[in-house]
Amino acid sequence: MTSVSGVLIAVGLLFLAGPSPCVAADYWGLIVHGGGTTRASYEKGVLQVEFRHSRHPAGGPLDYEKQVPRGQAAWPDRPMSPQEPSVLRQRMPEAQAAKLMEHLNTGGYWEFYCRNTGKGFFEVSTSKLVRASTRID
């Protein structure tokens, strides 16, 4: 009986501890290749990036150049669905947005951790610079 009450106390403490870091799992990494038809803008603290959907999954850094053409985006494990938005929005300081936009405008790659809002755009929790890699044989 003592072990059952101990388990119940432990489960209760987990609920009181609040959400776990796993909550961020609702956000998925989307690889965006700048240049081409990519459009990035910044207004009132929000970066907005518009892109087209790649027909291929992004794969890993060795695959980006082949799988994600300029101006397009894809999930690492699958191409984007036609029903998914082609716009993402991220709150950030203006100086950070300026650097990100410059990188995208020159054809760089960026990974945005997004979730679909159901309102025609992805909400981004965080993002980071990523680079395509080349295999040297």
Q: What CATH number corresponds to the domain at position 106?
A: 2.40.50
Let me know if residue 2 belongs to a domain: no
- The total of other beta-carbon atoms located within 10 Å of residue 39's CB is 15
Q: Is the pLDDT of residue 18 over 90?
A: no
pLDDT of res. 42: 98
DSSP β-bridge partners for residue 72: 52
For 67, the domain range is: 24-130
Residue 87 in any domain: the answer is yes
In a domain, 52, yes or no: yes
For 6, 59, 79, 116, the CA distances from 65, given in Å and listed in that order, are 54, 10, 14, 25
pLDDT, mean of residues 96-100: 96
Percent above pLDDT 90 for the chain: 77
Structurally, the chain folds into a number of domains equal to: 1
The encoded tokens of residue 36 equal 């081409």
Report if pTM > 0.95. no
**CA angle 100–103–109, rounded 5-degree value:** 95
Residue 10 belongs to some domain of the structure: no
- Tell me the pLDDT tens digit for each residue of 48-75: 999 999 999 999 999 999 999 999 999 9
pLDDT, tens digit, 9 for 90 and up, residues 100-123: 999 999 999 999 999 999 999 999
For residue 126, is it within any domain?
yes
Q: Is residue 54 part of a domain?
A: yes
Average pLDDT, the chain: 85
Question: Does residue 49 fall inside a structural domain?
Answer: yes
Asked whether residue 7 is domain-assigned, the answer is: no
